[in-house]
Amino acid sequence: MNSVLKRDILSVSESIDIPWEKLYEKTLMITGATGFIGSFVIHALINHALSNNKRINIIALVRNRQRAEAMFAEYLTSGMLSFCEQDVCEKITLDTRADYVVHCASNAAPKEYSAYPVETMKTNFYGTLNLLDYAKRVEAESFLYVSTIEIYGAINGDGLINEDDSGYINSAKVRSCYPLSKKACETLVISYADEYGLNVKIGRLSYIFGPGMKPGDSKIVAVFPKCVANNEDIVMKSKGEQLRSYTYITDAVTGLLTVLLKGKNGEAYNIASGLCTTTIAGIAETLVSLYPEKGLTVKYELPCETELKRFSLIQNAVLSPKKLEALGWRSRVDLKTGLKNTVEEQSELKNVSRNEPN
């Protein structure tokens, strides 16, 4: 694990805003455990437990156990981490009871769900259905569904988007496979709460960035910092005028844990930082301005047809975090700091790769 990621994990595991005591001696099932969000949650939970001589048990639901063991190698002897190896789209037959289920698994990269829209929808819906059935069967205390800003669709107006707002999503567009299936899953989650009495909560993440993103992540918050780390100009495929909520990974994870442990059952919460609201072009220009010594520029090119399929149809999407802030959550990392940390990690990874023996 690189030093930047370690530093961020430590900052979450030491957060005084999280009621950690509610997790002691409890078991959490976390899906998408080797993904960007899920892996960070696991690191933070186990690091907190180890640092405070406490016990928090984790069941990591993964598709590739070998990859997961490599990622979490330092915890394998702790006795707090176990693996459930399976596709989330298959029925979960595990008998072990989880007190909390945190469902992070999803195709979350534009490149993935533009190329595999059917698989994206199946993973979202059937995966959520199977997790809800498991949580109902084992009588879990609470189920946290990790949703997305994209469920709001295109909303007219320039105001902040609240949890009760709803916009238009064109169901006849392939790109809508992601937001519409996530939105359907929210209704499924709420339906389980209504029909079966399952305690559920929904955390709607804005666009998340920071150390720990997958190497091949196609989101601009992953691609642009890598360009800067590699001393390459940033190439924009649009004017990038869309104004959106971005949130640094540490604030996103503390937000999810706040919803899980303090949120009201049956409620959805926006997880968005007021410190990182900007346009896509703003991200590019900020990155270039942070490293004037590199002499980099922002260039504009026409997108190809494949690239156009990945573009979100949503223009402006700025979420109001007031409901989450009422629970005691606060965003702490601003845009410049977050982007600088992301570039720093990419530079460190590049240096490690360069020094590895062939």
Q: Which of 40-54, 88-102, 106-120 has the lowest mean pLDDT?
A: 106-120
Phi, psi of 232 (to 5 degrees): -115, 145
Residue 46 pLDDT exceeds 80: yes
- The confidence score (pLDDT) of residue 259 equals 98
Task: Kindly state the average pLDDT of the residues 66-78.
Answer: 96
| Amino acid of residue 325 | E
Q: Would you place residue 45 in the very low, low, confident or very high pLDDT band (cuts 50, 70, 90)? A: very high
What are the pLDDT digits (tens) for 159-214? 799 999 999 999 999 999 999 999 999 999 999 999 999 999 999 999 999 999 98
Q: Would you place residue 354 in the very low, low, confident or very high pLDDT band (cuts 50, 70, 90)? A: low
- The confidence score (pLDDT) of residue 217 equals 85
CA angle 142, 5, 208 (to 5 degrees): 55
SS3 51: helix
- The confidence score (pLDDT) of residue 315 equals 67
350 vs 208: which has the higher pLDDT:
208
- The confidence score (pLDDT) of residue 12 equals 97
SS (H, E, C) 324-357: HHCCCCCCCCCHHHHHHHHHHHHHHHHHHHHHCC
**Among the CATH numbers 3.30.710.10, 3.40.50.720, 3.30.565.10, 1.25.40.10, which is that of 3-213+247-273+318-333?**
3.40.50.720
- CA proximity to 103, closest of 68, 141, 82, 129: 129
351 vs 314: which has the higher pLDDT:
351
- The confidence score (pLDDT) of residue 108 equals 72
| Amino acid of residue 258 | T
CA 44 to chain CA mean position, Å: 14
- The confidence score (pLDDT) of residue 281 equals 94
Q: Which residue has the tokens 């330092």?
A: 74
- The confidence score (pLDDT) of residue 237 equals 81
Per DSSP, the residues of 68-101 read HHHHTGGGTTSS-EEEEES-TTS-----S--SEE
Q: Would you place residue 358 in the very low, low, confident or very high pLDDT band (cuts 50, 70, 90)? A: very low
SS3 291: coil
Task: Kindly state the average pLDDT of the residues 326-332.
Answer: 97
Q: Would you place residue 308 in the very low, low, confident or very high pLDDT band (cuts 50, 70, 90)? A: low
Q: Would you place residue 110 in the very low, low, confident or very high pLDDT band (cuts 50, 70, 90)? A: confident
Rounded CA separation 228/352 (Å): 17
- CA proximity to 208, closest of 245, 153, 260: 245
Q: Domain locations in the chain?
A: 3-213+247-273+318-333
- The confidence score (pLDDT) of residue 306 equals 64
Q: How many CB atoms lie under 10 A from the CB of residue 253?
A: 28
Q: What is the mean pLDDT of the chain?
A: 92
